Structure formats: structure tokens, C-alpha cells
Amino acid sequence: MKITKNLNGYHSESPLSLSIGIFDGVHIGHQSIIKKLNTIAAKKNLQSAILTFWPHPRTVFNPNDDLKFLNTIEEKTYLLEKNGIQHLFLKEFDEEFRNLTGEEFVKQILVEKLNVKHLIIGHDHTFGKNRSGDFNLLQKMSSEFGFEVEQVEAVDFQSRHISSTQIRNALTEGNVKEANEMLGYVYSVSGEVIHGKKIGRTIGYPTANIAVNSMKLLPKKGAYIVDVFVNSQHFKGMLSIGTNPTVDGNSLSVEVYILDFNEDIYGKEISVNFREFLHDEIKFESLEKLIERLDEDQRITENFQF
């Protein structure tokens, strides 16, 4: 997949089958658009492409909005490439760009720079200053500039349209199974293993503290059954998101106890996949009670079928 970050002076030599959007999560709704993009590209001898924006427009319009994302930019890039996209345009959502009208966006970006011949947009997609661009505008301009446009309907899950917001809500409620169904894959976080307070090792449950990207959405505080990927190997794990209230912790941490594992991995990158929510964060009355619960969580994790 070819990645282009600067559109200044750019012109695509290849005619494109393109879709526009944030694509946070690259969920099954996004995947249906991508599948159609790739099918049309193959049929019409075009290249499949995505135009997306970084940072998220909401952070530009509402800089105080503490929006967290389902994907880091690296994860999104990986998922788009995995789904067969040939070109990724990462456009900075700057002041100049946000002031383009819908008509200017179509002419200057889609036609002159990206050489779009087939455009697919989501059911509720708008663009341009004051949301002046929509499907109706694209239909009017398509014949003038020689491209085709189609709008796809949302994919439903449990009688609701699948959206990145729906998935974020599921994760913040601890509904990781529901989130995974809407994503079409298992939600994950990754990061470097850093030093923590090392309390876990004193009670027989040494944990790896993961430094997660600050822009990445963490599921609800609590305990989870996870897959752990470290040193190109796969293990079961018990992961905790919280402040360690039993030992009077006050800062949020992401810690994973890796079953059947005893290696020094400080400074190494690990990844965890969220499989099942075990329970909310609990402040135990003693370390003994905490250990009892960890023993029970381990028994459940060992018996969990991935």
C-alpha cells in the first residue's frame, strides 16, 4: 500500500476508486465499503484508495474534547492494507482544508489531485465548510467532472447502525464481545513494557505494565481475559485496567499477568487482545482477599476457550 501524506503539488497518475472518511476502527461497516471499492477497482481497472484525516476533525473543531480512538494511525494503516487498499492519503485537517467549500473540495482535491473516477461514501457522509458537501452535491458534479458516485447504507448490528461511536460506547461499558462483533476482529492495545510498583510479584502475580498510546481508547476499568503476544509467542493473560485501589494507587495503569510465562520483557513491545470481561475494578479489604480473587480469575482464564 502506498501512503501519501502531503497533497501539495500532488496529482495521482492512476485513476482511483476512492472513499472518504475517518475509518476509526476499520469496523465491518468500513470493511463493506472497502470490499466494494476493491471490486470496482478490479472491474474498472482503477486503484483502490482511502482519503482520511489526521488529526481527527473533532479535535480541530473541539480542541478540549478528550476524544480517544479505536485505532492509532499505525493500526489503522495496517488494517486498511490488510483489507486490500492500494493507496492511503493521510490529509492533515488544517485551517486551509477545513475552509474549503464542498464544491472546492470536489474540484481541487477529488478531481485535480486524486483523479477520482469512482467515489463511494457512507450513508451520512458530509464534507466541506459548514457541511456544504453531500451526496446530492456529488451527484450534480459527477457528470461535469467525469466520475461516478454511490452511497452505501450502514451495516446494522442488533437493529442499530454500526459506527465507531457505538463501538467506543460498548468498550467503555466493558462489552468487549459486542465491540469485537462490530469490529469484525478482536480489539487490542499494545505498548512498551515499563516498570511499575512491582507489587504483583510480592503476591505471586507479577504483571507487565503496558505504556499505551494516550490517544488510544481503553475499555472500562476492570479485569479482562486477554490474548498476549510477546516475543512472537502467544499466551493467555489476565489484564487489569485501573488505579490499584487495594494498595491505594492513584494513577491509571494497564497491567497484564501472563500465564505460564517467566521472562524479563522490560522495554519490549507487547500486544493484548480483549476476549472477555471478568469483573469491575474492586477495592479489596486485604491483600489476602485480592489474592483469592486473582486465583479465581486465573482458574476462569485457564478454562477459557479462545
Per-residue pLDDT at 248: 67
Q: Please, which residues have CB within 8 angstroms of residue 195's CB and are 6 or more apart in sequence?
A: 209, 266
In this prediction, residues 250-258 reach a mean pLDDT of 92
Per-residue pLDDT at 132: 72
In this prediction, residues 160-184 reach a mean pLDDT of 95
Per-residue pLDDT at 187: 98
**Grid coordinates belonging to 174:** 466493558
Whole-number Å distance between alpha carbons of 3 and 223: 37
In this prediction, residues 86-90 reach a mean pLDDT of 96
Q: What is the CATH number of domain 187-303?
A: 2.40.30.30
If you ran DSSP here, which 8-state letter would residue 129 be given? G
Whether the per-residue pLDDT at 128 is higher than 80: the answer is no
Whether the per-residue pLDDT at 154 is higher than 80: the answer is no
Per-residue pLDDT at 127: 79
| Highest CATH level, class, for 2-161 | alpha beta
Percent of the chain with pLDDT over 90: 68
Residue 51, classed as helix, strand or coil, is strand
Residue 161, classed as helix, strand or coil, is strand
Per-residue pLDDT at 152: 86
Whether the per-residue pLDDT at 224 is higher than 90: the answer is yes
Query: b/e for 103-114, b at 16 or more Cβ within 10 A?
Result: eebbbebbbebb
**Grid coordinates belonging to 122:** 457512507
Whole-number Å distance between alpha carbons of 250 and 298: 25
Percent of the chain with pLDDT over 70: 99
Residue 10, classed as helix, strand or coil, is coil
Whether the per-residue pLDDT at 171 is higher than 90: the answer is yes
State how beta strands 222-230 and 208-212 pair: unpaired
In this prediction, residues 280-290 reach a mean pLDDT of 90
**Whether the Cβ atoms of residue 141 and residue 133 lie closer than 8 Å to each other:** no
**Whether the Cβ atoms of residue 190 and residue 271 lie closer than 8 Å to each other:** yes
The residue type found at 264 is D
pLDDT tens-digit profile of 236-251? 999 999 988 877 677 8
* Domain extent listing, the chain: 2-161, 187-303
Question: Which residue did the predictor score with more confidence, 8 or 272?
Answer: 272
pLDDT tens-digit profile of 29-67? 999 999 999 999 999 999 999 999 877 777 766 777 788
**Whether the Cβ atoms of residue 85 and residue 3 lie closer than 8 Å to each other:** no
Residue 208 burial (10 A CB sphere; 0-12, 13-18, 19+): buried
Whole-number Å distance between alpha carbons of 215 and 219: 13
Give the DSSP H or E segment for 276.
strand 269-279
